[in-house]
Amino acid sequence: MRFHNLSPQPDIGANSYLVEGEGVRIVLDSGTHPKHTGWETLPLLDHLESDCLDGILVSHPHLDHLGSLPVLMRSQPSAEVVTTRLTREYGTALLHNSVNVMKAQAEELDEPLYPLYTHSEVDMIARRWNLRDVGNRFFPGDQSKLSAEFFHAGHVLGAAGIRIEVGGKKLFFTGDVHFEDQTLVKAAEFPRDPVDTLVMETTRGASPRDPSYTREAEKERFAKAITETLARGGSVMVPVFAFGKTQEVLLMLRELFDEGRLPIVPVHIGGLSTKITEITDRFSNAAHRRHVGYNILNDFPSLKRLAKGRREPDYQPGAIYALSSGMMTEHTVSHRFAHRILASEQNSLLFVGYADPDSPGGLILTAGQGGRVVLSSKSEKETEIRCQVERFDFSGHAPREQLVDYAVACRPGNILLVHGDPAAKQWFQGELARLLPDSRILIPTSGEVIDL
């Protein structure tokens, strides 16, 4: 078996990996990198010969795992693309949104290559995706020498870890994984039998979690911050990613309303979040989800949707604004609405997910209340942060200690550390070398080929 790292950067983004064995070639994921544009946002697709793949397996629909799939499929017309049903549903919507973003960036960034694909191309390739349920073994490209199987990953709805068997060897790819129940998604259900190679995400490797942490205590702290904001006459903005975090936060708020821990107040969403929530409601009885049968858009009390064509909602005191994007990226609803929240000590800005340190959200978190930030790339004007700023740990990624426990349980001969910043990967390499002295612990460099 051979592993070829197609990810172009040493951090998180443009995730893609080629696995070869017994003459069969499979690519795991095909993402884009959010910090780059044009061809630089893509994996190392030029390392692949034209029409050389038997299969492309997609773990989940976040764009750092899916965003370059139309480009890859264009050069690999014979490859069978396999994913779960929910990844196809969400992924199609996210790729269409990516086209819209690239069209806007083509002019804004003077990027002549954008868009890298079109709406019609997204519709066309989605019809080529083959769907497989979790727990069913299949043979990508009808190549009987290599089998694959999906396992619930607990990261977002539809996310899967992938086991590959070829030439008498087993490789397990975690993709993005969480081993604890979230509000919407149940915990991962990964196999723990021995594997020859474990390809493991390392997202939270540089961030130890407080040993006293519980999700329930964090939820209570979240409710307290909202209650105090409402009591002083302010409003709350929760920057959220349209897919995953929006639905998680809405269901958490619904639980807090039902439990009497929060008063029922207007909750605003908008843009892509509404489309993604519609998909979630269509699959309200999907396997591995919680709140089975609950229809968010119809059943959520006091939910306010941003009207089509509106760039941002009206501000009113005593409300909650769950607006995308989660990092408050420029030209998104949360970025446009930020000035209304930042301007008053009565308001709160509550982060519930990851924010890149260089993003507007990351800059606000670093500066904190009383600090000043430049929010626009086209202006040097600083904005004062008058509102309360808090961060909460509702990550969809497993804490590093749980990933280490999983790796030890699998007793792999090889562990390949991917999907993390250099410091995160290095922590895992040191810890796993200590606990698994007989295993080969590697950090694949960009373009590196490793024999397994």
Domain boundary among 376, 391, 406: 391
- 437 and 354, same domain (yes or no): no
For 25, 152, 373, 384, the CA distances from 354, given in Å and listed in that order, are 33, 22, 18, 22
Q: Do both 191 and 50 map to the same domain?
A: yes
Are residue 368 and residue 406 in the same domain, yes or no? no
Q: In terms of domains, do 363 and 275 share one?
A: yes
Tens of pLDDT, residue by residue over 61-81, are 999 999 999 999 999 999 999
Residue where one domain finishes, among candidates 349, 368, 391: 391
Residue span of the structural domain in which 106 resides? 2-207+396-451
- In terms of domains, do 172 and 230 share one? no
pLDDT in tens, 159-168: 999 999 999 9
Among residues 206, 238, 225, 253, the alpha carbon closest in space to that of 353 is found at 238
Both 198 and 297 in one domain: the answer is no
Domain count, the chain: 2
Whether 9 and 92 map to the same domain: the answer is yes
Q: What is the pLDDT of residue 309?
A: 81
**Is it true that the peptide bond before 325 is cis, omega within 30 degrees of 0?**
yes
Residue 368: count other Cβ atoms within 10 Å of its Cβ. Answer: 12
Peptide bond preceding 357 in cis form (omega within 30 of 0): no
Question: Considering 346, 373, 391, which residue would you say is the last residue of a domain?
Answer: 391
Q: Indicate whether 364 and 237 sit together in one domain.
A: yes
pLDDT in tens, the chain (452 residues): 999 999 999 999 999 999 999 999 999 999 999 889 999 999 999 999 999 999 999 999 999 999 999 999 999 999 999 999 999 999 999 999 999 999 988 988 889 999 999 999 999 999 999 999 999 999 999 889 999 999 999 999 999 999 999 999 999 999 999 999 999 999 999 999 999 999 999 999 999 999 999 999 999 999 999 999 999 999 999 999 999 999 999 999 999 999 999 999 999 998 799 999 999 999 999 989 999 999 999 999 899 999 888 889 999 999 999 999 999 988 899 999 999 999 999 999 999 988 888 899 999 999 999 999 998 877 788 999 999 999 999 999 999 999 999 999 999 999 999 999 999 999 999 999 999 999 999 999 999 999 99
241 and 334 Cβ atoms separated by less than 8 Å: no
CATH code of 264's domain: 3.40.50.10890
Q: Are residues 140 and 248 in the same domain?
A: no
Handedness of CA 5, 416, 402, 172 (dihedral sign): positive
Q: What is the CATH number of the domain that holds 127?
A: 3.60.15.10
Same domain flag for 268 and 348: yes
CB neighbours of residue 211 within 10 Å: 6
Element counts in the chain: helices (H) and strands (E): 12, 21
Do residue 407 and residue 434 come from a single domain? yes
Please name the amino acid found at residue 452.
Answer: L
Q: What is the pTM of this model?
A: 0.95
Tell whether 68 and 159 lie within a shared domain.
yes
